[in-house]
Amino acid sequence: GDSVTQMEGPVTLSEEAFLTINCTYTATGYPSLFWYVQYPGEGLQLLLKATKADDKGSNKGFEATYRKETTSFHLEKGSVQVSDSAVYFCALSGTGGFKTIFGAGTRLFVKA
Amino acid sequence: SQTIHQWPATLVQPVGSPLSLECTVEGTSNPNLYWYRQAAGRGLQLLFYSVGIGQISSEVPQNLSASRPQDRQFILSSKKLLLSDSGFYLCAWKLQGGPGELFFGEGSRLTVL
């Protein structure tokens, strides 16, 4: 079945450092790919998405490119802030669209 | 605009007691509805989803059940809680007809003692 694998955390960075969180997926067909963010004590919210190969999703300085050849959707940000501290989830929704499958999540800590 | 409400926010229950978590969506019709569980330090596990009233699909055999008595109401239940049922439960919805964005509630933290 479909699955998502993302790098284990926690990831600890200093403010203004470059961030990469790796995500790879296994799916049949052409899934849509997502990054969600969860701030402490809250539910998840969509950060960005891409619906087809070579699409780049972007929001709040974060970017991720849908790479079908490497089945990857890595999250990047050029300069992180303390307020970016959260748990980040990579996810996919398959061709049928009913279910969204999530990775295990990566906790990010940003130090001032 | 659409909103999703989930309650209670926090619950402490003894082993063997019943459970009822409720989720209501406003501002949309005929949404797909979902229950996820997030155990401590782990990712999100899809428990149940529903594409319409009375239609429930279970992803993981377990001690829990779900019901959708109305179009925008989704209930997660248990007759007898286990210690392993502890976790953070998230309700979510999305529009029918494609792999769109999920909108999540604030979550319900359940501790079984």
User: Which of A31, A97, A104 has the CB atom closest to B42's CB atom?
Assistant: A104
User: Which of A43, A93, A104 has the CB atom closest to B43's CB atom?
Assistant: A104
* B70-102 residue pLDDT tens: 999 999 999 999 999 999 999 999 988 766 889
| Residues of chain B positioned with their CB less than 8 A from the CB of A104 | 42-43
Q: Map residue B83 onto helix, strand or coil.
A: helix
What does DSSP assign to residue B35? E
For the cut 90, the answer to whether the pLDDT of residue A85 exceeds it is yes
Mean pLDDT, chain B, integer:
92
- Confidence at B41, pLDDT banded by 50, 70, 90: low
CA distance B56 to A99: 13
Q: Are B2 and B103 in contact (CB under 8 A)?
A: yes
Chain A interface mutation, best of B5, B25, B32, B38, highest count of A Cβ atoms under 10 Å: B38
Q: How far is CA A54 from the centre of its chain?
A: 16
For the cut 90, the answer to whether the pLDDT of residue A77 exceeds it is yes
Residue with tokens 């003692």: B113
Give contacts of A 29-58 with B, CB under 8 A: 31-32, 34, 36, 41-46, 49, 51
For the cut 70, the answer to whether the pLDDT of residue B27 exceeds it is yes
- Confidence at B111, pLDDT banded by 50, 70, 90: very high
- Confidence at B33, pLDDT banded by 50, 70, 90: very high
User: Which of A49, A101, A102 has the CB atom closest to B101's CB atom?
Assistant: A49
CA distance B89 to B57: 17
| Residues of chain B positioned with their CB less than 8 A from the CB of A43 | 6, 90, 92, 104-107
* A19-61 residue pLDDT tens: 999 999 999 888 999 999 999 888 899 999 999 999 999 999 9
Task: Tell me what the mean pLDDT of segment B97-109 comes to.
Answer: 87
Say whether residue A13 is in contact with chain B using an 8 A CB cutoff.
no
Report pLDDT for A30: 86
CA distance, residue B107 to nearest chain A CA (Å): 6
CA distance, residue B19 to nearest chain A CA (Å): 20
The b/e string for B37-50 (b: 16+ C-beta within 10 A; e otherwise) is bbeeeebbbbbbbb
